[in-house]
Amino acid sequence: MGKNYTVEKANKYIKENKGNLNKKYYPDYHFASQYGWINDPNGFSIFNNEYHLFYQYYPYASQWGPMHWGHAKSSDGIKWEHLDVALAPDKQYDQGGCFSGSAIEKDGKLFLMYTGHLPNETDENLTRQNQNIAISKDGVSFKKYENNPVLTEDDIPEGSSIVDFRDPKIFEKDNVYYCVIGSKTVNNEGQVLLYRSEDLLKWDYVSVFLPYNKYLGTMVECPDFVRIDHKEYFVLSAMNYKDENTGKVYNHISWLIEGEVDWNNFVFEMKNIKEMDRGLDFYAPQTVAREDGPVAIAWMQGWGRDFPSDEQSHGWAGQMTLPRKLTLKGDRLKQKVLSGIESYKHSKISNDNVGIDNKHVLSNEVVQYISIQAKSDKLDDFILKFSNDTNEEVMLTYDHSGRNFRFSRKNTNVKIMNEEDEEVMDSSKTYSYSGETLNMEIFIDKSSIELFVNDEITLSNTYYMEEEISKISIESKEKITLENISIAKIDLNK
């Protein structure tokens, strides 16, 4: 492809090529593109009472390229309708790509705010990023604002990088619009900047909203300021975070940060921090505000590693997690898949008081959902194995003493390697669950498994196997008793 990208060319190419998609690993009910590469969710919003999901998109190959904005909508956040491409890098100020951003409804119109990327091929220090607006009356076709860009390097405070300045996320407070933007200092220390606007078109610098601390690495990506009931949070992703306890450097990590804003000085003061998801494949989560609590969705993938669907020329790469509602119960933050998923569950089987002594087969066929409830005093260590007829398997291992879970894909034929040519096999352990009852929900798709524990701990992972999972079993060296096991299929066409 040449460099003359347009929305029209992208839509034409997708229409002509989407039939060539190889669906061996393609998800049944997680969101993926019709054709081509996707990464970060963008512009996750509500417009005309429907969810709108935009995403970083390169339609012309299953590899990252000059970013467009793909677009889909949904009435329930689970079943998505693909729409026309919303943005293409067709202007001088975004010719290197329409990078990540957000969306908000105002006066019956949908406003997008995104980063224009201007790379310099010979000197990275001359790369620039700016912020732009696009507007739609119908939520489908977007027109870029005639006075773009609305923020440039001239609006960056002294001491901050003029090279890395991206991913605006809009929110409203007291009838004023604000946006947080990912940044770093000139010393490569991650931070978040705050800007303000009365009309979404003219923006002014306010403050370094989240100053550098050791958790922010060398750059903050996709910052998202979130209010849940009476508490304030940041959802953000950090580059090159170094864990001082283990010495491990995370190229990319997504944090959930609880804090409090000093609205007189416009500074977010961090109180607590944790990984939002402990899986191998979870990045750049973005939320949309709802009265009953925000809803978050993330790219279910990681940077710096193999993409098997690309390497095997399947015509697509990247998928999204299931959207999850964020709520508070007391002081605990809860994450639960949107209730709309219930409409698509069928062929349900439920069994009570299941005793496990050594090994128990839960299913000898393809299923997409499992829930398990058990009293902690009836449990010991166990392993859930998800296998196929070619003896490949992925595993969820439960450590009873630590009350945590770990995922492994080491027993699959398709290996996923990182940039150091090391196999990426095992996730971190989850945080320990609270309470005396274990409640698990597991969502299984053709190339992903998402685990939710007590609606507060999550583990999102991809895997690639030669055949679909056709057998699910649970093994324990000690006798354990499960109060209930339920399984179901998930079909978006039901």
Higher-scoring residue by pLDDT: 248, 35: 35
Token pair listed for 428: 């971190």
Rounded CA Rg of the chain: 22
Q: What angle do CA 363, 340, 345 make, to 5 degrees?
A: 25
Distance CA 369, CA 438 (A): 17
Distance CA 387, CA 385 (A): 6
The CATH classification number of 26-337 equals: 2.115.10.20
Contact criterion met (CB below 8 Å) for 106 and 53: no
Cα distances (Å, whole numbers) of residue 382 to 397, 407, 455: 6, 12, 20
Distance CA 306, CA 458 (A): 23
**Among the listed residues 424, 223, 163, 214, the one whose alpha carbon sits nearest the alpha carbon of residue 304:** 424
> Would you say residue 3 has pLDDT above 80?
no
What length is written for the chain?
Answer: 494
Q: What is the 3-state secondary structure of 204-229?
A: EEEEEEECCCHHHECEEEEEEEEEEC
Every domain of the chain with CATH number 2.60.120.560 lies at 339-490
Q: What is the DSSP letter of 246?
A: T
DSSP line for 54-121: EEEEETTSSS--S-EEEEEEESSSSS-EE----B-S-SGGGTT-EEEEEEEEETTEEEEEEEEEE--S
**Range 295-315 average pLDDT:** 97
Residues 6+ apart with CB under 8 A from 51: 44, 45, 73, 74, 75, 76, 77, 288, 295, 323
Q: pLDDT tens-digit profile of 65-81?
A: 999 999 999 999 999 99
- Is the previous residue joined to 168 through a cis bond, with omega within 30 degrees of 0? no
Contact criterion met (CB below 8 Å) for 95 and 118: yes
> 446: phi > 0 → left, psi -120 to 50 → alpha, else beta; which?
alpha
Task: Determine which one of 28, 40, 445, 455 is catalytic.
Answer: 40
Q: Within 13 Å, how many C-alpha atoms sit on residue 252's CB side?
A: 20
40 is catalytic: yes
Contact criterion met (CB below 8 Å) for 293 and 326: yes
Query: Tokens 């020329």 belong to which residue?
Result: 313
Token pair listed for 355: 């005793």
Every domain of the chain with CATH number 2.115.10.20 lies at 26-337
Distance CA 293, CA 156 (A): 32
> Would you say residue 234 has pLDDT above 80?
yes
Beta carbons within 10 angstroms of residue 250's beta carbon? 17
259-275: b (≥16 Cβ within 10 Å) or e: bebeeeeebbebeeeeb
Distance CA 46, CA 386 (A): 36
pLDDT band of 448, cuts 50, 70, 90: very high
> Would you say residue 120 has pLDDT above 70?
yes
> Would you say residue 1 has pLDDT above 70?
no
> Would you say residue 110 has pLDDT above 80?
yes
Where in 107-175 does DSSP place strands (E)? 109-118, 128-136, 143-144, 166-173
Token pair listed for 80: 């998505």
Q: pLDDT tens-digit profile of 315-373?
A: 999 999 999 999 999 888 999 999 999 999 999 999 999 999 999 999 999 999 999 99
Contact criterion met (CB below 8 Å) for 10 and 88: yes
Beta carbons within 10 angstroms of residue 351's beta carbon? 11
**Range 177-194 average pLDDT:** 98
The pLDDT assigned to 268 comes to: 98
Q: pLDDT tens-digit profile of 453-471?
A: 999 999 999 999 999 999 9
The bridge status of strand 36-47 relative to strand 316-317 is parallel
Q: What is the mean pLDDT of the chain?
A: 96
Q: pLDDT tens-digit profile of 412-443?
A: 999 999 999 999 999 999 999 999 999 999 99
The pLDDT assigned to 212 comes to: 98
Q: pLDDT tens-digit profile of 145-154?
A: 999 999 999 9
339-490 CATH fold: Jelly Rolls (2.60.120)
The pLDDT assigned to 331 comes to: 83
Beta carbons within 10 angstroms of residue 61's beta carbon? 15
The pLDDT assigned to 247 comes to: 87
> Would you say residue 2 has pLDDT above 70?
no
Q: pLDDT tens-digit profile of 382-407?
A: 999 999 999 999 999 999 999 999 99
